[in-house]
Structure 1
Amino acid sequence: MLQPDAGFHPDRGSNYTSEELGRFLTGLRVRHPVGRAGVRYDNAMAESFFSAIKNEWLHRFVFTIRAKAKRQVIRSIEGFCNHRRPHPALGYRPPLGVLNESLSTRAAA
């Protein structure tokens, strides 16, 4: 089940930029952000994230069914990436630590 206002981050291939797909995603209430042609940073963050998950975590496993793969991706993101993996854009701190620090600062203000 898709969450309303979920985002779809494709490549710039013609199959992903078609009007037909745009209408389909709009009908599902899914955002379809596609940047300008030639802008190489459009998906850089998402590509980097998924590359890290694959290289650091998922390539260690062989999945026989999709449900197991899905559980392992969730485990990787929730158990490692958000809680323990240092992120260079966050001063080499894990995302959950930065979020908690931000919420604490707001609560104290």
Structure 2
Amino acid sequence: MGDSYDNALAESIIGLFKTEVINVLGPWKSMAQVEWETLQWVSWHNNEQLHSAIGHRTPQEVEEAFHAQRNTLEKAA
């Protein structure tokens, strides 16, 4: 189940996306163009963009470190 913080995060990400992609790169000629730019932005945001809230790392790096630590703990148990 989600909580209000989940909704706030989603709204924040959507706002960033609209500011950085929709408003800057538009007007759009087709839905396919919007879909492609969305995929590009999500990939960049998760794999290249450094986030100060998580130690100037990418979300992908943080997720991989989390799973590696979890796997190590499971093997030790």
Common fold: TM-score over 0.5: yes
1:75 partner letter: Q
Aligned residues: 72
**Residues 1:106 and 1:43: Cα distance change in structure 2 (over 3 Å):** closer
In 1: Cα distance, 2:22 partner to 2:49 partner = 15
Q: 35, 40, 48: which is aligned to 2:12?
A: 48
What pairs with 1:5-16 in structure 2 (closer than 5 Å)? Answer: none
Q: Name the SS of the counterpart of 2:18 in structure 1.
A: helix
In 2: Cα distance, 1:42 partner to 1:49 partner = 11
Q: Quick one: percent identity of the two aligned structures? A: 25
The CA RMSD measured in Å over matched residues stands at 2.6
- Quote how far apart the aligned CAs of 1:82 are: 0.4
Matched, 1:71 2:36: yes
Q: 66, 70, 74: which is aligned to 1:106?
A: 70
Which is richer in helix?
2
TM-score (norm 1): 0.53
Match of 2:55 in 1: 91
Structure 2 unaligned blocks of 5 or more:
none
> 1:80-108: per-residue Cα shift (whole Å, max 9, x none)?
11001123432332110101111222333
TM-score (norm 2): 0.70
In 2: Cα distance, 1:58 partner to 1:83 partner = 20
| Greater gyration radius | 1
Q: 5, 17, 22: which is aligned to 1:58?
A: 22
